[in-house]
Structure 1
Amino acid sequence: MIRHIVLFKFKPGISWDDPRALEAEGMAAKVGGEVPDLQEWSTGRNISTRPIAYDFAVIGLLEDEAALDRYLVHPFHQEAIRRWREISEWVIADLEE
């Protein structure tokens, strides 16, 4: 199993007041229902106010690397990425469980 974790940090000038942030959040929430290879999917805003904190996270669970590869190129996932790319930078980790 692979636990896929992505942390998003808004670009300067972007906040949750920006409609693009709300659209990206809503799109991210739907990825779990649109990408069949995801066995689990969780999203959420970070509540930490520390300067090092990221703003938003997604966490998914996939069967194996082949499923991860399919998830990465899935059209709905690609559209979600496009929206986040406009407003944020991100880091990822893929953990074997």
Structure 2
Amino acid sequence: MIEHIVLIKFSNEPTKAQVDELIERTLRLKEAIPGIIDIQQGRNFSSRSKGYEVGLTVRFTDRAALANYDPHPEHQKIVSYLREIGLADLIVVDFEIH
């Protein structure tokens, strides 16, 4: 299995409604993209986040499923929405679960 972790920073503060919409759209990817075992997303509440406001974890069946995820049209819609609401930076970490 593969764990995919994403931390999201915005250039300006998105509204609560925009972040709620982001989370709702992202969670629906589990039904749209093959190979997703689990997907979780939420707002950061830690003061140690260095400005990263939203966290995402996606668990995939294997590396092939992860490779299919990024270019998938439904994922690209999320990326476009992130840019629309002020994406400034992402940190991405992928690792195999042993």
Taking structure 2 as the reference length, what is the TM-score of the superposition?
0.82
What are the residue-to-residue correspondences of 1:67-86 with 2, within 5 Å? 67-86=65-84
Q: Which stretch shifts more, 39-48 or 29-38?
A: 29-38
Deviation at 1:53, TM superposition (A): 4.0
Matched residues in 2 for 1:40 and 1:51: separation?
23
Return the alpha-carbon distance in structure 1 between the equivalents of residues 67 and 10 of structure 2. 26
In structure 1, what is the equivalent of residue 8 of structure 2? 8
| Counterparts of residues 1-97 of structure 1 (less than 5 Å) | 1-11=1-11, 13-17=12-16, 19-50=17-48, 52-86=50-84, 87-88=86-87, 89-97=89-97
Q: Which segments of 5 or more consecutive residues in structure 1 lack a partner in the other structure?
A: none
Deviation string for 1:43-89 (max 9, x for gaps)? Answer: 11111234614110110111222111111111111101111123112
CA RMSD, 1 decimal: 1.8
Aligned residue-pair number:
95
In structure 2, relative to structure 1, the CA distance for the partners of 1:65 and 1:22 (3 Å cut) is same
User: % of aligned pairs identical?
Assistant: 31
- Secondary structure at the counterpart of residue 42 of structure 1: strand
Normalising by structure 1, report the TM-score: 0.82
